[in-house]
C-alpha cells in the first residue's frame, strides 16, 4: 500500500505521557532569580492549571478531550505514506515510510499542540494568549487554534522574519491573530532594545521575553510555547500512536524511527510511543537529526541552562550549546535552538535514542531528490529527517535483512521556496563551526560555578 489511512473512528483518544515510564524523574526546573526549584505559583502566572498538571504528570495515558478530538479530525489521522518512488530511485531493498504532518491547515505538526493549549486556556477563562515566533510556523499554528476557540492571539515575531518572510504573518492575520515585529514598543524590554538600536534584527530570545512580559502584565493573558516543554511533547504523541496503528493495518513494523529536532517536539511525537515499545523489548533504532550548524545533541553538553538568551526563563536540565550560542542563519530556522526538550535530552543521555547532524547542502540535496521522486516539497527542517532516512535506506543495500524505515515529515515547504531557489541556483553554503565557538558559548552555563 502506498498510502495507509487510519479510519477516524480508530483515531487514538489518548496522548502518551512518557514521564510514566522513566526510572527517575526529570531534574527540577530552577527559578532564574531565586535559583530554587520553580514553584507551582510561578507557573500559574502564565499557564493554566490543566497544562501545569500535564507538565508534571506521571499518568501513562491522558485522555484527549472530545472538543480537541473534533478539531484534530479536520486533518487527522495524518496519512502514513510509503515512499516507493524514492526507494526505486535509491535502488534499495529497504522500505521507507513517512508520517505526513503537512496536512494540517498550518502545514506542520504544530497545531497538534496549539489546539490543546488554546482549549485548556479557554477553559480556564483566559481571553488572550501571547507568544513569540521566528519564521512564523508556531505563530500561525497558535493563531489557527485561537480562531477555533475564540481566543485573541498576540504574536511577537522576530523583526528580520517579519520583514523578510511575510507569508506566515498574513496567515496569522487571516486567522484573526495580531502580529507585531519584535522588538516592539508594546513592552518595557522591547522599548529598551529599540532605544539602544532602532534597527535591530531582533531575536527569538528577545521575542520570548516580550511575550512573557505581556502575559505577566495582564490578568486575561497567558503565555504559550510551541516546543521543548513536557506538555508540548505529550500533545505531539498522537503522531506516533497513529503510526503504530497504521503499521498494524499493513502488518509491518519499523526497525528505524527518525525525526528532525529543533526544540524536540515533532521528534518526541513520532518517537515517544516507539521508545515505550523499545523499553518493552522491541528492537528499534531511534534517530534524532539536527543541523551541523546547530549541533545541540551531537556537540552540546547535558547540563542546566536557560531556555532563552536573556536568562529570563527557568533553568532546565537538557542538551545545550549554551544560551548565548548564536547559530549561523541556516534556512531550517525551526532547528536553530541552543537547547533541547528535557524529555528528549533524558532519553538521549540514557542511550535509548541517538543523534546525528547534517549540513544544509546535504539536506537540501536529499529534499530535492525527495521532491523529484515523491513530489512533495518538504520544509527545510523536515529535510533533515529525509536525509537520514535516505542514508539508512542506502545502508540497507549491504544488510542481510533490509530495514523498514519510518520518518516524520513535520511540514511542507511551500513557504520556503526561496531557500529551494538558493539551493537550485548553487547559492547555498555550509557553515563550519569551530570547536572554539561552542566551547566559548558553553562557558556561560548557570549553576556551574560554585561562587
Ligand atoms: C517548528 C518546526 C520544527 C522544529 O520544531 P520541533 O519542536 O523540534 O519539532 C520542525 N519542522 C517543522 C515543519 C516546524 O515547523
Find out whether 153 and 114 touch, Cβ atoms under 8 Å: no
Does the beta carbon of 411 sit less than 6 angstroms from any atom of ligand 1? yes
Residue identifier of the C-alpha nearest atom 2 of ligand 1: 334
Half-sphere exposure of 196 (CA within 13 A, CB side): 11
| β-sheet bridge partners, residue 288 | 259, 355
User: In the prediction, which pLDDT does 137 show?
Assistant: 96
| β-sheet bridge partners, residue 34 | none
Does the beta carbon of 110 sit less than 6 angstroms from any atom of ligand 1? yes
For the chain, the domain total comes to 1
Does the beta carbon of 263 sit less than 6 angstroms from any atom of ligand 1? yes
Give a yes or no: residue 8 inside a domain: no
Does the beta carbon of 256 sit less than 6 angstroms from any atom of ligand 1? no
Does the beta carbon of 78 sit less than 6 angstroms from any atom of ligand 1? no
List the chain residues with pLDDT less than 50. Answer: 450-451
Give a yes or no: residue 259 inside a domain: yes
Structural domain harbouring 262? 66-107+231-444
User: In the prediction, which pLDDT does 333 show?
Assistant: 82
User: In the prediction, which pLDDT does 449 show?
Assistant: 52
User: In the prediction, which pLDDT does 451 show?
Assistant: 30
Which atom of ligand 1 lies at the shortest distance from residue 268's CA? Answer: 9
Cell 542511550: give the residue: 351
Give a yes or no: residue 406 inside a domain: yes
**Cα 209 to Cα 187: distance, rounded to the nearest angstrom:** 9
Spacing, Cα 233 to ligand 1 middle (Å): 12
Does the beta carbon of 266 sit less than 6 angstroms from any atom of ligand 1? yes
Give a yes or no: residue 378 inside a domain: yes
Residues 6+ away with beta carbon under 8 Å from 297: 261, 288, 290, 319, 340, 345, 348, 355
pTM summary value? 0.97
**Cα 431 to Cα 451: distance, rounded to the nearest angstrom:** 36
pLDDT tens digits, residue range 276-315?
Answer: 999 999 999 999 999 999 999 999 999 999 998 778 889 9
Give a yes or no: residue 418 inside a domain: yes
Cell reading at 201: 534584527
Spacing, Cα 253 to ligand 1 middle (Å): 25
Torsion, Cα 331 82 259 162, to 10 degrees, reads: 30
Give a yes or no: residue 164 inside a domain: no
Which atom of ligand 1 lies at the shortest distance from residue 269's CA? Answer: 9
CATH of the domain at 267: 3.40.50.1100
Give a yes or no: residue 352 inside a domain: yes
**Cα 49 to Cα 120: distance, rounded to the nearest angstrom:** 8
User: In the prediction, which pLDDT does 406 show?
Assistant: 98
User: In the prediction, which pLDDT does 432 show?
Assistant: 77
C-alpha angle 261-264-265 in degrees, rounded to nearest 5: 120
Residues 6+ away with beta carbon under 8 Å from 276: 16, 18, 21
Find out whether 423 and 368 touch, Cβ atoms under 8 Å: yes
Does the beta carbon of 137 sit less than 6 angstroms from any atom of ligand 1? yes
Give a yes or no: residue 73 inside a domain: yes
Amino acid at each position: 500500500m502506498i498510502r495507509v489511512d487510519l479510519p477516524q473512528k480508530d483515531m487514538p483518544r489518548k496522548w502518551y505521557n512518557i514521564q510514566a515510564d522513566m526510572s527517575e524523574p526529570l531534574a527540577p526546573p530552577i527559578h532564574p532569580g531565586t535559583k530554587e526549584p520553580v514553584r507551582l505559583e510561578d507557573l500559574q502566572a502564565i499557564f493554566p492549571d490543566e497544562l501545569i498538571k500535564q507538565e508534571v504528570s506521571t499518568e501513562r495515558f491522558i485522555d484527549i478531550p472530545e472538543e480537541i478530538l473534533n478539531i484534530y479530525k479536520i486533518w487527522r489521522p495524518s496519512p502514513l505514506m510509503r515512499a516507493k518512488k524514492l526507494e526505486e530511485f535509491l535502488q534499495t531493498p529497504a522500505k521507507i515510510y513517512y508520517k505526513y504532518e503537512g496536512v494540517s491547515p498550518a502545514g506542520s505538526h504544530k497545531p497538534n499542540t496549539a489546539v490543546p493549549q488554546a482549549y485548556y486556556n479557554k477553559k480556564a477563562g483566559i481571553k488572550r494568549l501571547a507568544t513569540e515566533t521566528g519564521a512564523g510556523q508556531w505563530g500561525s499554528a497558535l493563531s489557527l487554534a485561537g480562531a477555533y476557540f475564540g481566543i485573541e492571539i498576540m504574536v511577537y515575531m522576530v523583526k528580520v522574519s517579519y520583514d523578510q518572510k511575510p507569508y506566515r504573518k498574513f496567515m496569522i492575520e487571516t486567522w484573526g491573530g495580531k502580529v507585531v515585529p519584535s522588538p516592539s514598543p508594546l513592552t518595557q524590554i522591547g522599548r529598551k532594545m529599540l532605544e539602544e538600536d532602532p534597527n535591530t534584527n531582533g531575536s527569538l530570545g528577545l521575542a520570548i521575553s516580550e511575550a512573557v512580559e505581556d502575559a505577566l502584565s495582564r490578568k486575561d493573558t497567558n503565555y504559550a510555547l510551541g516546543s521543548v516543554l513536557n506538555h508540548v511533547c505529550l500533545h505531539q504523541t498522537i503522531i506516533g500512536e497513529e503510526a503504530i496503528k497504521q503499521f498494524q493495518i499493513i502488518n509491518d513494523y519499523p526497525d528505524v524511527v527518525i525525526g528532525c529536532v529543533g526544540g524536540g517536539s515533532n521528534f518526541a511525537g513520532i518517537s515517544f510511543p516507539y521508545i515505550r515499545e523499545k523499553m518493552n523489548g522491541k528492537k528499534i533504532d531511534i534517530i534524532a537529526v539536527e543541523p551541523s550548524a546547530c549541533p545541540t545533541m551531537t556537540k552540546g553538553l547535558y547540563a542546566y541552562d536557560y531556555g532563552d538568551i536573556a536568562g529570563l526563563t527557568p533553568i532546565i536540565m537538557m542538551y545545550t550549546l549554551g544560551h548565548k550560542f548564536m547559530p549561523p542563519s541556516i534556512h531550517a530556522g525551526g532547528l536553530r535552538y541552543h537547547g533541547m526538550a528535557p524529555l528528549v535530552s533524558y532519553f538521549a543521555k540514557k542511550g535509548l535514542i541517538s543523534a546525528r547532524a547534517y549540513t544544509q547542502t546535504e539536506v537540501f540535496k536529499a529534499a530535492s531528490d525527495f521532491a523529484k521522486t515523491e513530489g512533495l516539497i518538504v520544509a527545510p527542517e523536515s529535510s533533515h529527517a529525509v536525509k537520514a532516512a535516505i542514508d539508512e535506506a542506502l545502508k540497507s543495500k549491504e544488510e542481510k535483512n533490509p530495514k523498514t524505515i519510518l520518518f516524520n515529515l513535520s511540514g511542507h515547504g511551500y513557504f520556503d521556496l526561496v531557500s529551494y531557489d538558493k539551493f537550485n541556483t548553487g547559492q547555498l553554503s555550509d557553515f563550519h563551526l569551530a570547536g572554539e565557538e561552542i566551547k566559548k558559548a558553553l562557558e556561560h552555563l548557570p549553576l556551574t560555578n560554585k561562587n
